Chain A
Amino acid sequence: MSKANGNFNRTQYRLGFFLLLAPIVLWLSLLIILPHIDMVLVSLRERIASRQYGFSFSNYTAFFTEPLYWNTFVRTAVMSIVATVLTLLIAFPVSFYIAKVLTGRPRIALFILCLLPFWVSELVRTYGWMILLRETGLISGALQWFGLADQPVEMLYNDVAIMVGLIYTSMLFMVVPLVTTLDSLDNSLIEAGYDLGGSSWNVMRSIVIPHAMPGIMSGCIVVFMLTLGNYLTPTLLGGKSSLWFTEQIYTQFITRFNWEQGAAFGILLLILSSLIVWLGLKITRQSFTRVMS
């Protein structure tokens, strides 16, 4: 009797377990795994004739033989890494100030200030930068008014403009994990660092940064992924010369209707981002599970 009851409870427990698991399984399989499998299959075929396809690596060989594709790919990776590092350098002092220096209301206020720009869409924010940076924009006008420039200055459509836009867009995703990890650092550890004779630099290097490492890495991973896959900011602020890899993918899918080539590019981008994240974790000796927890 009691055994039957136990069995019943167990069945019920397992049913509950699968029901709770169902949404994430469905989400993963239908929206992530299936499309990616299909994309791999699409990327590995070649159009022989109308509605006739054969297996081929030609989409991948095209990538390695055409310098434009290859250069854009490397350029996107390097620019994303630089943007990630710059975001970290700007966000770390801000986060430290929020987490360790401020208390009470000013602390919440500053945190909300970091969050505030994200209440408007990325498109509107990027247009904001365009209003500032374009030839007839605010900064150009101000420079002329002060006599620092004798003609309108075009500050859009170059790498610096792209970089500024990318950092601006990514800031929050770096600040949040950093504030969280720095918050968990016991203040007495910092005081002990000073008490034992350390300078501010010693304390930062030996105590604060080692403690914040998981937060630094998780922020970097998120920012790097977002930057690498960003389409809007490089296109609007960099214009035609931006040469961002996502634009290549867009062109293949939408303009040239070459889904096979676009799929191959997508897969390559996925491999690239996974590889760089893996390398970053290896170099800093952090484990993925620790960084993501």
Chain B
Amino acid sequence: MSDQACASGADAGVQEDLACTLLSKHFGEFAAVDGVSFSIPRGAFFSILGPSGCGKTTLLRMLAGFQQPDSGDILIKGKSVLNTPPNKRPVNMVFQHLALFPTMSVAENIAYGLKRKGIPKREHATLIDEVLAKVHLPGYGDKRIDQLSGGQKQRVAIARCLVLNPAVLLLDEPLGALDLKLREQMKIELKRLQREFNTTFVYITHDQSEALVMSDQVAVMNKGRFEQVGTPQELYYQPKTAFVAGFVGNSNQYAGKVQSQSGDLVTLVTEQGVRLLSHASQPLVAGSPITLFVRPEVMQLSTSRPATEQDNCLAVTVSRVLFDGAQSRVQVETAEGAELTVALPQTADFQALEAGRSVHVSWQASQCLCFPAPVDTKPLGTP
């Protein structure tokens, strides 16, 4: 069944710049990439999000051709590239530390690829000027690499690849080395460049905000497999596995046990003995261990008990105020000792909130999710 789906995906490959079928790579006993299949529509910004060591770099290096998969196939524009060496593949890569050639100027860095592609020398200057203008670095051709700032180096590294018009541009966490302000700017800049060049981008990162802000599609990767592929909204609001729920966005996580289930609604008791109601998308056995995920921003903070009936309402004490401008949060504790982190509304009511105050937090069952636990001992390979 799944094989058939993959095959039809390959046939329809004309519309796809990049497709992989059941790609695997093992290092000894360790499965770095384990049966990954996906296809990326033309001109999409596709991110692979995962913790370090999940196999995303190995996957990217296989796409670039620096590593050979043990099994599976890679199709670029509908053609298998397994036997194509990296210097012949129509993909280019922006390396983690950019790998600009320090012995060459900016223009020489860009010209390197043009020369290898056999483009006549007289056309180089125009092409280089054009691409530098597109990345907002006009007139930088004669600069040495060590004269550039971090953000400018990023742009040169991207220009060096995009001038070659690759079918797919691979990006290996290129924003990791930048400071926060610059990273925010570059996120928007990368998205703009991707639109402007209309090239398929495959971006790998461990930073969920980078993936969510820029991507059309995000694949969440864990232990060599794709946990879920979807739009950023789907991953955030409808995570399919506990791993995705925990990894994408911030969540309060609680271990607990199922008490009863009726339809989508589950009654559960956390380890600290707090009884809560939650939404669940799968049937759960009473008494089985589960993990509950509640996002800080879905919880309502109120100084008195809310007037309308809420599925979950807890009387808590403020233990700490974590001020961070618009992202400010409050840590609160229930009488049973369960800790919660709640988003702090930027309203006058809570300006004077301080540790020791008694408040209420409430949220609807539909706004939280629970998954069977424990996550870690879930054997690999089970669907």
Q: Residues of A with Cβ closer than 8 Å to B?
A: 186, 188-189, 191-199, 202, 206-207, 210-211
Contacts and interface: CB of A to CB of B under 8 A. Distances in A.
A202 B116 contact: yes
B101 interface: yes
A186 B97 contact: yes
A195 B92 contact: yes
Nearest to A213: B103
B86 A195 contact: yes
27 contacts: A186-B97, A188-B95, A188-B96, A188-B97, A188-B99, A189-B101, A191-B64, A191-B95, A191-B99, A192-B95, A192-B101, A193-B112, A195-B64, A195-B93, A196-B87, A196-B92, A196-B112, A196-B113, A197-B113, A199-B87, A199-B116, A202-B116, A206-B101, A207-B103, A210-B103, A210-B104, A211-B103
A195 B86 CA distance: 6
Contacts of B195: none
Interface of B: 64, 66, 85-88, 91-93, 95-97, 99-104, 112-113, 116-117, 160-161, 164
Nearest to B61: A191
Task: Give the interface SS of chain A, mostly helix, strand, loop or mixed.
Answer: helix
Contacts of B113: 196-197
Contacts of A198: 87, 112, 116
B286 to A, nearest CB: 54
Nearest to B170: A195
Given A192-B95, A194-B85, A198-B87, 4 more contacts: A188-B99, A192-B101, A196-B87, A197-B164
Nearest to A210: B103
Contacts of A202: 116
A43 B47 CA distance: 76
Contacts of B161: 196
B228 to A, nearest CB: 30
B87 A189 contact: no
Contacts of B64: 191, 195
B68 to A, nearest CB: 14
B55 to A, nearest CB: 18
Interchain residue pairs A-B with the least CB separation, the first 3: A197-B116, A196-B113, A192-B99
Contacts of B117: 197
Contacts of A188: 95-97, 99
A206 B87 CA distance: 15
Interface centre among B96, B102, B112, B113 (most CB of A within 10 A): B112
Contact of B87 (A195, A207, A211): A195
Nearest to A195: B93
Nearest to B103: A210
A186 B103 CA distance: 13
A21 to B, nearest CB: 33
B116 A196 contact: yes
A186 B97 CA distance: 10
